Structure 1
């Protein structure tokens, strides 16, 4: 794996997906209405982050028409709130401090009718609705513990987004 994630953090990938006018794809979580986020998901044992990001995007959004443009070189971490940590430890059968994320910038090259929040049917749906937002709006609507990661992601991808 490209540089190992810090110990105690669940390896995860994040998807910063841009449309043709450099707006960012976000979706509202089913379990947290009004919590908008960029797609993300766990890296499976032995899976490369580049493969995981394509798989996660497809699982969560149904999107197949996207190309990787860039990646954040280092793993970015955030800690789980105590009540979330407890719930996820039960779900995953392992205790993690939080998530270490490898973020990728992808360009959406498909048609919006490809977007399906039921995903590809391999996983339970996570999102209730989606939209395109400006990067500043994404940061504004992010849950508190993800905001610093999002700020770093947009800072790293600014040369691509602002071009």
Structure 2
């Protein structure tokens, strides 16, 4: 719905109590006819496939929606909460996701807002005198591999900051699916979201297609961080870990696709002879890799099978805020290899989770482009 002729004011009312929740004062939009619309922030979190994160509401089986909530009217340091601040807060309270850690804020060209009425629902909104809600969408991009691959494990649905739990489970779904299955009264806001996100989702697809690590890269071992410790955590002796961390390591990356998300062939060279030691293909999506003999990273002595998955994630430290991610399930545990470009150099950040422990081991390697 197009919004015209409104003013924003502070809602001064007592806290509305219900058996299960307390709703604090919210900002609202007041129409010229006196209708009040509660100002709300909607959290549109998108994954690498432009799917939306939605949750199933507790006690309402089959009722799925994105995290959302009112924009607080509380004045802090002389200012009221902004819509973007409210979206970040609601995202944390309802699903435990932190901006800058699990998600990054997307840049919007125009505001995405829509109203929906709550008259006749006998909800607390109607009892509080609201005609409905004005939902203002704030878009986020997934920056966490766990959230991308297993949102139920990555999200905390217990209710944080003293708020009651909102969702029993979460999942990724296309906006078309959400629009077809959301509560009919809320269909309009999700249609507005779909229309408003055309630009940012197309921009994400273009960034995935243009991502390029092509070239030959030489590891600058003097700038590695935590590599020795990460190798030792995989069961490698300290002597061998130090030797591996300091020895030359050269890879060549080649793009394989002209259209769609970039896929690569990766060539690794023998450190002594400079001849090709291994060639791997990194497609987008899930795949299996068979390796022979003993592997420094994966373990085993007679080869084995690795389940892998490649995708793109938002990355705060990258020049263009995007990274190529490879997830691997190995005999030793689960590993994330995150590669991105920073200041013209290739950064490889590995995170390793033991199959028998819960702590995470992180290492960083820096590669400099060298002449072919």
- TM-score band by shorter chain is 0.7 to 0.9
CA 1:70–1:138 in structure 2 vs 1: closer, same or farther (change >3 Å)? farther
Larger Rg: 2
Alignment partner, residue 77 of structure 1: 115
Q: 1:161 to 1:119 in 2, by over 3 A?
A: farther
Structure 1 or 2: larger strand share? Answer: 2
Larger helix percent: 1
Task: Work out the CA distance in 2 between the residues paired with 1:12 and 1:84.
Answer: 19
Aligned equivalents of 1:75, 1:151: Cα separation in 2? 10
Q: Does 1:122 align with 2:162?
A: yes
Deviation beyond 6 Å, 4+ runs, structure 1:
none
Q: 1:89 to 1:151 in 2, by over 3 A?
A: closer
Paired residue for 1:161, among 201, 214, 230?
Answer: 201
Tell me if structure 2 keeps the 8 A contact 1:31–1:126.
no
1:152 aligned to 192, 199, 207, which one?
A: 192
Shift of 1:88: 3.5
RMSD: 1.9
Structure 1 residue 128, shift from structure 2 partner: 1.1
* C-alpha displacement of 1:129: 1.1
**1:1-163 correspondence to structure 2 within 5 Å:** 4=8, 6-7=29-30, 8-45=36-73, 46-64=80-98, 65-71=102-108, 73=111, 75-85=113-123, 87-90=124-127, 94-110=128-144, 111-112=146-147, 113-162=153-202, 163=205
Q: How many residues end up aligned between the 2 structures?
A: 157
SS in 1 for 2:130: coil
Alignment partners' CA distance in 2, 1:151 and 1:56: 21
Tell me the CA shift for residue 160 of structure 1.
2.0
Aligned to 2:313: none
CA separation of 1:13 and 1:30: change in aligned 2, threshold 3 A: same
The whole-number CA distance in structure 2 between the counterparts of 1:100 and 1:50 is: 14
Greater RCO, CA 8 A, separation 6+: 1
Q: CA 1:74 to 1:114, structure 2 compared with 1: closer, same or farther past 3 Å?
A: closer
Q: What does the per-residue CA deviation read over 1:121-144, in whole Å, with 9 as the maximum and x for residues that have no partner? A: 520001111100011111111100
Aligned equivalents of 1:121, 1:139: Cα separation in 2: 30
Counterpart Cα distance in 1 of 2:161 and 2:112: 31
Show structure 1 runs of 5+ residues with no match: none
Unaligned residue ranges in structure 2 (runs of 5+):
1-6, 9-27, 31-35, 74-79, 148-152, 206-372
